[in-house]
Structure 1
Amino acid sequence: MPTESLYPKFNIPNTDLWGFLFERNDRPYPEEKIIYRDADTGRAYSYAQVKSTAIELGKGFKSVWEWRKGDVLALFTPNCIDTPAITWGVHWAGGVVSPANPGYTAEELAFQLKDSGAKALATQKPFLKVAVEAAAQAGIPEDRIILMGDEKDESMRFKHFSSIRNIAGTNRYRRTKAHPKNDLAFLVYSSGTTGHPKGVMLCHENIISNLLMLKAGEGTNLSWDGGPAGNGDNILAFLPFFHIYGLTCLICWSLYSGIALTVMSRFEIEKFCAIIQNHKITFAYVVPPVVLLLGKHPIIDKYDLSSLRMLNSGAAPLTQELVEAVYKRLKVPIKQGYGLSETSPTTHTQPWELWDKTVGSVGTLLPMQTAKYMSPEEKELPIGETGELWIKGPNVFKGYHNNPEGTKNALTEDGFFKTGDVGHQDKDGNFYITDRVKELIKYKGFQVPPAELEGLLISHPMVNDVAVIGIYNKDQATEVPRAYIVPKPGVEGSPKTANEIVQWLQAKVANHKRLRGGVKFVDEVPKSASGKILRRLLKVKAQEEEEKGQRAKL
C-alpha cells in the first residue's frame, strides 16, 4: 500500500495566491514588519510596502500594457528585493510569472520567452544586452522590457518598473482573480539536464498547498517574533529566486510566515559568512555545494556563525559524512528536505529534533500526500526496497507546457508523479533519496549510485569536491564508475594520488562499486545554479578524452 503522510490534513482555502497572502484574516505579524532586506544596500520592503507596490504595479500593467488574465511576464534577473512586488503585481493583474536563469545566453532566454509565450520581460540594467537580443528573437517589443533593481537607464530607452506605478487614472482597475486549480501562478523551467528545459506548470493551489505543507513541516521552530534575540528569525536568501526552491521556500514562505529575508544577489562564500555574522542570520536554505564549503573552506574560521540555529539542505542528496563534518566544525545542525519543480517543490523534510538521528534521510512525507517506491516494471515495492519514488498530492504540477508527451510520461492516470529519483523508506517512515534513475551506473547488471560514491569520496582528506559518472568500457562491455576530483590545495593530481584514492575507496565499497574507470583531476565540478552536478558535461568531457586518446594511438 502507498504511504500516507502522518501529519494531520488541512483544508486548502478556495482562493488564489494573492488572496491567500494579502486578503487573509490570520496574519500573525504587523503590516510594518520588514520582510525583504537587501544585504548590500539595506534597502527593504515591509509587508505593507510589498502589497501597495504590487497593487500599483498591477494597475499599471493593466493600463499601460492592457494586461489580460493568463498573460506571462518573464523575469531575467539575479536575486533582487523587487522580485516579490513585481511577482505579485503580475498576480494581482491575473498574470503568470516565468522566471529565467540570469546566466542564460540570448538563445537560451529566447527559447523560454517563446515557449512560455511571454508578453513582457523584466530585467536589470547589466543584463539588458542579452535581454534585448532574446526579446527581439521572441518577438517581444522593446517597450515591453522593463528594469528592476537599483540602476535605471539614463537614456530613458527602457522604463524602470517604478514608472509604471502611480499612473493617473488607474484607480478604475480592479484585481483579476485567478482560479486556484485552473490558472497558473508560475511557469518555471527545469534545469534541462537533457535537451531543452521543460516548462513546469504550477497553479495557485499547488503553491498554496505547499506553503501550508511547509508550515506543518517547520512547525513552531521558526518565528517572526521569536528566535534567540527575541526579534524574530532571519533567513539568508541566496538560493536563486528563478528556481522553485527560492520562489516558494524564500519569497512566498517568508511573506506568509512573516520571517525576515536577507537577500544576496548571488552566492560568494566570504560574503555569505560576513552576512551571517553581521545580520545574525538564524536559518538558511542551502544546497550540498555550500555545505561542502562550510565543511572544508579555510575562510569559514574567520567568521562567527554562531547565530545559525539550523540549515536545511535540498536540491541534491546530502551525505552523512558531510553533515557530520560541518557539525564537528561549526556545531551547526543540518537537516535535509526534498522536492522538485513539479511538486512546488517541498514534499519531505526532516523534523528539527531528528536531524542527527536520521542523517542521510530527506525526512518524512509532508501532509496531504501519498508516496510509493516502484520497480522498473512499475510494481509497488515493499518498505526497505529500492525503487523510483512516485508522489501524489495537491502540490503536484498540472503538466509540462506545450509538451503533452512529457506530461503523459510523468503523470499517471490516477495522479501520481514519477519523480525519476531512486531511493527507499524505512519502517519509521523516513525517506531516502540515493540518486536519479537516469544517473545510475549499470555495471554488469549491478546498479551503482554515483551519489553514494561521491559521499564517501568527499570525506577523503585529499578531496575538495567530486563527481562520479559511468564510462562505457569496451573491453568489459559495461559501464564502469569514474571519479572527477577537485584535489585539496597543495595536493598534486598525480597518478600516485589517484591510485591512493582508488585503493582507499575499494576498501569501503562492494566489488561492483569500485572505481574501475579511474580518477581524473579537474579544476571544478560543473554544477547548475541549484547545486545539481551536471553529469552530462562530464560525460561530454569523457567522450572528448576518449576520442583524443584514440587519435593519439593512430
Structure 2
Amino acid sequence: MPFYPPSWVPKLPFDPPDHISIEHFMFDENYGRHPLGYSKSPFTCGLSGKHYSALDVKERVDFLARGLAHAFGWKPNEGSEYDKVIGVFSVNTLDTLPLAWATHRLGGIQSPANAAYSAAELEYQLTNSGTKILFTCLPLLSVAQEAAKKAGIPEDRIYLLEVPKALTGGKEAPKGMKTVDDFIREGSKLPRLEPLNWDSGDGANKTAFLCYSSGTSGLPKGVMISHRNVIANTLQIAAYEKGYRDTKIQPGTQSDYTENALGLLPMSHIYGLVVICHASVYRGDGVIVLPKFEFTSYLQAIQTYKINSLFLVPPIIILMTKNKETLAKYDLSSVWSIFTGAAPLGKETAEDLQAIFPSWAIRQGYGLTETCTVVCSSSPADIWFGSSGSLLPGIEARIVTIEGAEVTGYDQPGELLVKSPSVVLGYLNNDKANKETFQDGYMRTGDEAVIRKAPSGHEHVFIVDRIKELIKVKGHQVAPAELEAHLLTHPAVNDCAVIQVPDDRAGEVPKAFVVKSPSVGLEESDRMLARQIQRHVEEHKAKYKWITGGVEFIDEIPKSPSGKILRRFLRDKEKESRRAKGAKL
C-alpha cells in the first residue's frame, strides 16, 4: 500500500515543466518565481556584506553565459550536455549558483565537488564526470591544479571564483588567471545568445547537475540530476511551506513573505544546492553565504543579517546545545525556524535546543541526492521530535520488509521506497547500481523507516537508520542513531558514534566511540567514565541496546561535510584493532 502526503498538504500549483532549463525557471516569473524586483538579494556574503540584487544576478548570469560560450565555442542548441561539463571545486561563493545557471543557459552541466576533497578524490570526480573546465577558489587552487593535471585538464582551463579576502591569507591570484568577473565583463560586450529551443521532455531527460553521492561503500557515484528534478523539488518545497509562510505576512501588506536564510552548508551538497540555493531564491528569500563553519562568525552573521531560518546539520546543533554561554553573547532573536537534515537529529538533542530557544520551530527533513533532496519534512505547524515530518506534495512512498513484503500499517519497519518527479535519472555509467536502486518507478533508499500517526493525526515518517548499519543483537535490530542521540545527553559526551562489533553469544553488539566533553577532568579515569556512560544507556534503554561492546575514547568522530557520521571508517579502525589482538572479526 503506497503512502501519500496528508490531506492538509496542498497539491503542486502546476506540473513541473519538462521543456525548460533551471535557469529559465529561476528567472522567469511566469513559473511562480517571486517577482525579481521585490526579492531580497539572492546571495549576500556573510563576512564582507557584498551582494547583488536579483535583477543584477539575472544580468550577471546572462553575461556569464555569453562569456563562457565565446571562450569555449559552446552554443546553446548544439552538442550534448556532456560536451559542456564545468567542474566547481570551491567553498561557498556569491557566484557558485550564477555559474551553474549560466552553464544551464548553454545546455551544459555543473559538477560540484566537495571542498574537503583531496587531490586524488577530486581527480576521480573530474575524470569520471568528463569535466572540461574547472572553477576553483584561491584557498583550494593548489589542490585543484594537482587534480586537474592528473585528470588531463590544461592549466589554462582552470578559473577562479571570488572569496572574501579573509580566506586568502593575503595571497593574490596568479597573474593572468581569469575569474568569473572577467567572463562577465567580456560577456557584457558580446551579442545576446539564441534561446534554448527545447522540446517537451528535454528538461526531464537532460542532466543539469552531476553530484557525487558518498553512499555507504565503494567509490562515489555520479548522480545525474535533470533540470526537471530540481524544478520539481523546488516547487514541492515551496508548495508544502507556503501555507505557514503566509501566516507570517504582516497585516496590511500585499506582498508575499520573504526572509533571510543561512547559506552555510556546502553548495556542493544536494541539501545546500537545492533546499537553500534554489527553493529559497525562488521564493524571494536572501541567502547569507558563509564559506566555512566557524562558530562565532556563524553566530555573528545571524545577529548582523537578522537571519530568520537556519539550515543546519546535527553536529552544529549539538555544538549549540553544549555552548549556551557563547550563544548568550549574541542576539539570535530574529530566528524563528531551524531546519536540519543530512543526518538524523535525535529527539533528545532537539529537546535540549528547544529548552534554550522555546520559540524556535525545530524542524527536520529527509532526502537524498538520488531524490534531488527533500522527500518529507516537518511543517512548522506539525512538529514531532524524532520524526522527519510528512511527505511533500507529489511524492508517493512504500515500505517494504527485507523479505519483500509490503508494509500496510503503522509502526512496521522496512526499507523506504520513493516515487517523485524529483527522483533522478540514475547513476552515470553504472548499470549495476541503477538496476539495484531504481526499480519500477521507485528509488530504493537503503534506509529503514516506519510510518507513524502523530498526535495531530497526520502521518509522519521516521527514519530509523541505514539498513546496512543496523546492529542485529540476538535478532533484535538496534539503530546506531538512536543510541547516539541518547549518549549525547550525557554531560561527559561531546560527540559520539556507535557501530556493531562481533559477539559470540549475541552475534553483534553495539560499541560506542566517544569524544569527551571539555568539562571532563584529567583526574577522571577512562575506565570509570566509560562505565558511567554505559550505565546511562542501561538506565533508559532495553537490555539488547546496551553498549556491551565497550566505550572507546577518540579525539574526533569522522564525518562528511554535511554532518553524516562515516561509520565505515570506525568499522575499519575496529577491524584493524581486533586483527592486531587476534580477536574475532
Q: What residue identity is the alignment partner of 2:528?
A: K
Q: 1:133: how far off?
A: 1.2
Structure 2 counterparts to residues 332-371 of structure 1, below 5 A: 332-355=360-383, 358-371=384-397
- Paired residues for 1:304-343 under 5 Å: 304-331=331-358, 332-343=360-371
CA distance in 2, matches of 1:186, 1:223: 31
Return the match for 1:156 from 167, 170, 175.
175
Deviations 1:434-460 (A, max 9, x none): 100111012222211101111111112
Contact 2:244 2:381 (C-alpha < 8 Å) held by counterparts: no
Q: Assess if the C-alpha contact under 8 Å between 2:129 and 2:222 holds in 1.
A: yes
| Aligned residue in 2 for 1:533 | 565
Contact kept? 1:223, 1:232, Cα under 8 Å: no
Give the equivalent residue in structure 2 for 1:31. Answer: 37
| Percent of matched pairs sharing the same residue | 39
Segments of 5+ residues of structure 1 without an aligned counterpart are: none
- Residue number among 510, 514, 532 corresponding to 1:485 in the alignment: 514
Task: For residue 154 of structure 1, report the CA deviation from its aligned partner.
Answer: 4.6
Residue by residue over 1:162-202, the C-alpha shift from the partner in whole angstroms, topping out at 9 and shown as x without a partner, is 21224377315324355211101111001244111111111
Distance 1:155 1:267, change over 3 A: closer
Q: How many residues align?
A: 546
Q: Which moved more, 1:269-278 or 1:528-537?
A: 269-278
Please say if residues 126 and 151 of structure 2, whose CA atoms lie closer than 8 Å, have aligned partners that are also in contact: yes
* Equivalent-residue separation in structure 1 for 2:372 and 2:152 (angstroms): 30
Secondary structure of the corresponding residue to residue 430 of structure 1: strand
Q: Which letter does structure 1 place at the counterpart of 2:374?
A: T
Distance 1:352 1:277 in 2: 22
Deviation string 1:487-543 (CA, Å, 9 cap, x unpaired) is 221324610111111122112222211111011111221111011001011112212
Distance 1:272 1:456, change over 3 A: same
- State how far apart, in whole Å, the 1-side matches of 2:183 and 2:498 are: 50
Matches within 5 A, 1:371-450: 371-383=397-409, 384-412=411-439, 414-427=440-453, 428-450=458-480
**Structure 1 stretch displaced more, 376-385 or 145-154:** 145-154
TM value normalised by structure 2: 0.89
The equivalent of 2:237 in structure 1 is 214
Amino acid in structure 2 at the alignment position of 1:343: T
Show CA shifts across 1:239-288 (max 9, x none): 10000100001111222111011110011111111111222111111111
Coordinate RMSD, CA, aligned = 2.1
> In structure 2, what is the equivalent of residue 201 of structure 1?
224
The residue identity in structure 2 corresponding to 1:48 is L
Letter in 1 for 2:108: G
Change over 3 Å in CA distance of 1:154–1:490 after alignment to 2: closer
Give 1:389's aligned amino acid.
L
| Partners of 2:23 and 2:102 within 8 A in 1 | no
Query: Residues 224 and 233 of structure 1 are in contact (CA less than 8 Å); yes or no, is this contact kept in structure 2?
Result: no
User: Paired residue for 1:497?
Assistant: 529
Residue 221 of structure 1 and its aligned partner are, at CA, apart by 3.7
Q: How does 1:205-354 map to 2 (within 5 A)?
A: 205-222=228-245, 226=249, 232-297=258-323, 298-331=325-358, 332-354=360-382
Q: Please, which runs of 5 or more residues in structure 2 have no aligned partner?
A: 166-170
Instruction: Kindly provide the amino acid, as one letter, of the partner of residue 476 in structure 2.
Output: F
> Do the aligned residues in 2 keep the contact of 1:471 with 1:479 (CA within 8 Å)?
yes
The equivalent residue for 2:168 is: none
Tell me the distance in 2 between the aligned counterparts of 1:47 and 1:485. Answer: 46
Shift of residue 4 of structure 1? 1.9
Corresponding residue number in structure 2 for 1:144: 157
CA distance in 2, matches of 1:291, 1:528: 16
Shift of 1:8: 3.5
| Corresponding residue of 2:56 | 49
Shift of the alpha carbon at 1:550?
4.1
1:102 aligned residue: 115
Contact 1:487 1:493 in 2 (8 A): no
Stretch moving more, 477-486 or 94-103: 477-486
Aligned-partner Cα distance in 2 for 1:155–1:260:
32
Provide the TM-score with structure 1 as the length reference.
Answer: 0.94
Distance in 1 of aligned mates of 2:174 and 2:511: 53
The separation in 2 between residues aligned to 1:245 and 1:309, in whole angstroms, is 20
Task: Rate the CA distance shift 1:172–1:256 in 2: closer, same or farther, 3 A.
Answer: closer
Give secondary structure in 2 for the equivalent of 1:353.
coil
**Separation in 1, partners of 2:538, 2:211:** 42
Note if 1:457 corresponds to 2:480: no
Q: Are the equivalent residues in 2 in contact too, given 1:288–1:531 (CA < 8 A)?
A: yes
> Relative to 1, partners in 2 of residues 1:325 and 1:480: Cα closer, same or farther, differing over 3 Å?
same
